[in-house]
Amino acid sequence: MRRTTQIATILGATVALLPASAHAQDMRHGGKLVLTNGISTIEGASGGGLTPWATIAGNSTKDGIGVQASATVAEVEDYDFRSASIAIGIFDRVEVSYARQMLDTNWVGGALGLGNDYKLDQDVFGLKVKLFGDMVYGPSALPAVAIGAQHKKNLDGAVVRAVGGRHAEGTDFYASATKLFLSHSVLASVTGRLTKANQNGLLGFGGDKSDAYDFHLEGTLAYQISRKFAVGGEYRSKPDKLGIAREDDWYDLFAAYALNRNLTATLAYADLGSVATVPEQRGVLFQLQAGF
């Protein structure tokens, strides 16, 4: 039984937002406006907690290379999540990311015959390219638009097969459009994703119900209360491919605070529905992210 101290994610989690126009310049200091790189998603890409945005990681603009790293702790009713991730942004155009996810099954592992506190682990490798537009500047009708891919490698192949998953590895493909409306202090983002992942891949890919890619929508809507503090919510629709483990859509409500230009703390309440046979999985997530 694998025990790992590396971390898995959010499961619902949270987003960091951006400063209002009245305070934009004093929060910039030569790079991006504070928080316009987003935070780290559950798969390691920049954006919100549950869903990527059309942002590129790090604080650097098109003239440099930026980086951001995060640690996430999430506690829902019957499971514990941990994650660690790092993402590199190249000239505000290309993003490369990596995340290690861990789900502690606690008592559920014993009930499923895996043993109490059995831990499911997964590596996620991401690539994102911004195609056009800008989330802050330019016409309000023209958002930033990006495409990306996330290759997920589940490290518990025997468990994947036992629950009916078809594959221990899989790749998600997505496109995101994101815009910050500075005059209204509102950020909106929408993502379309092609996936066959069960519970984000922690229960494998494909199943007895279907082994085909499904199209799913995800979104973020956030409001900036002050130049350093934002609140909002996210939604992520999910596939449902395993007969023994119903999967529900995910939601969260978050609050994000920029401690300074390089450090962001996020707190979220997440509702994940049914996870690995156990319904009503709701709880709290905390993430600390450093960006340069």
pLDDT in tens, 189-199: 999 999 999 99
3 within domain boundaries = no
Percent of the chain with pLDDT over 70: 90
Which residue in the block uniquely carries the two structure tokens 């450090």? 263
At 180 the pLDDT is 95
* Token reading at 202: 């922690």
Pick the closest to residue 117 from 4, 264, 238, 10 (CA basis): 4
Amino acid in the structure at residue 19: P
56 within domain boundaries = yes
At 112 the pLDDT is 78
Kindly report the backbone phi and psi dihedral angles of residue 158, in degrees, each rounded to the nearest multiple of 5, phi listed first.
Answer: -65, -40
Tens digits of per-residue pLDDT, 127-176? Answer: 999 999 999 988 888 999 999 999 999 999 999 998 899 999 999 999 99
Pick the closest to residue 55 from 99, 29, 89 (CA basis): 89
CATH of the domain at 73: 2.40.160.40
| Secondary structure letter of residue 153 according to DSSP | E
User: Which residues 6+ apart lie within 8 Å of 260 measured at CB?
Assistant: none
- H/E stretch holding 157: helix 157-162
Domain tally for the chain?
1
1 within domain boundaries = no
286 within domain boundaries = yes
187 within domain boundaries = yes
46 within domain boundaries = yes
15 within domain boundaries = no
Alpha carbons 147 and 39: distance in angstroms, whole number: 18
Alpha carbons 13 and 94: distance in angstroms, whole number: 24
pTM of this prediction? Answer: 0.87
Alpha carbons 99 and 162: distance in angstroms, whole number: 25
C-beta atoms surrounding 113 within 10 Å: 8
104, 80 in Cβ contact below 8 A?
Answer: yes
User: Which residues 6+ apart lie within 8 Å of 139 measured at CB?
Assistant: none
226 within domain boundaries = yes
Angle at 217 between CA 104 and CA 16, to 5 degrees: 65
Residue 220 three-state SS: strand
Is residue 34 very low, low, confident or very high in pLDDT (cuts 50, 70, 90)? confident
Which range of residues forms the domain containing residue 166? Answer: 21-291
Alpha carbons 141 and 91: distance in angstroms, whole number: 24
Kindly report the backbone phi and psi dihedral angles of residue 67, in degrees, each rounded to the nearest multiple of 5, phi listed first.
Answer: -145, 150
**Complete DSSP assignment for 44-67:** S-EESSSSB-S--SSS--TTSEEE
Residue 7 has pLDDT above 60, yes or no: no
